[in-house]
Amino acid sequence: MTKAPLVGAVKTRLVPPLTPEEAANLHVCFLRDMSASIAEVVVRNCAEGLIVYTPVGAEPAFDGIFPPGFKLLRQRGESLGDRLCNATEDLLGQGYSSLCLANSDSPTLPGRLFDLAIESLSRDGDRVVLGAAVDGGYYLIGLKNVHSRLFDRIAWSTSEVLAHTIERAAEIGLEVELLPLWYDVDDGATLNRLCEELFLSRRRDGNYPAPHTREYLATLIESRRIFPELAGRTTI
């Protein structure tokens, strides 16, 4: 699930420290890295990769970003809940037996978490798989059937999203399976966390290396555009 990488329309909470142009460039890097990681998951699990995007008419902005075989699907609906629910309906209506809707803000998300979600959805019985995010939301939702209640009365863009979604699942008697915690990069603090992970952390734990994101952030750091305290340490 993503927005087209249009200047001034993406990663606006990263401006500052980034300029609108840098924020859009970083968004492209996130898309390249996440789709490359998902492409590996696709091969391992005989799945397909799709980009569920907005706005309509911005399709050329995605040219050359994604690996071969990825398809584009337009988002429908006004609210985030509407768009998630409609994407679920559209994809299951195309004949897919299950799906995972993921954000486009976690470039180092380990591929094994997608594998876990797919494995859970492959088992008998209905369930929802949720990737718990540090900020109280979720980075992934996996489904086998349309459950519009999961997207109803959710306080979107707050720390209550995951809790509310679990409550909605309980109301309809739907089993919930939680994936390990991960984080979204959507503000200065989480951008700093990403830089620390990419350039200072000695442990990887299967994290996707996000080469496009790493290279672009290195240029910004070395030019002292962001986090000057990391300058000279980006070749680790």
- Domain definitions of the chain by residue range: 2-230
- Rounded CA gap, 16 and 221, in Å? 14
| Mean pLDDT (10-residue bins), the chain, 236 residues | 98 96 98 98 97 97 97 96 98 97 98 98 98 98 98 96 98 98 96 94 83 97 87 74
pLDDT value at position 226? 87
Helix (H) or strand (E) holding 164, with range, is: helix 161-171
Helix (H) or strand (E) holding 132, with range, is: strand 127-133
pLDDT value at position 64? 96
CB 162 within 8 A of CB 208: no
- What is the reported pTM? 0.95
| Third-level CATH fold of 2-230 | Spore Coat Polysaccharide Biosynthesis Protein SpsA; Chain A (3.90.550)
- Rounded CA gap, 96 and 107, in Å? 25
**C-alpha distances in angstroms, 139 versus 18, 22, 93, 142, 188?**
23, 23, 23, 10, 18
> Which residues is 102 bridged to in the sheet?
140
Three-state secondary structure along 79-105?
CHHHHHHHHHHHHHHCCCCCEEEECCC
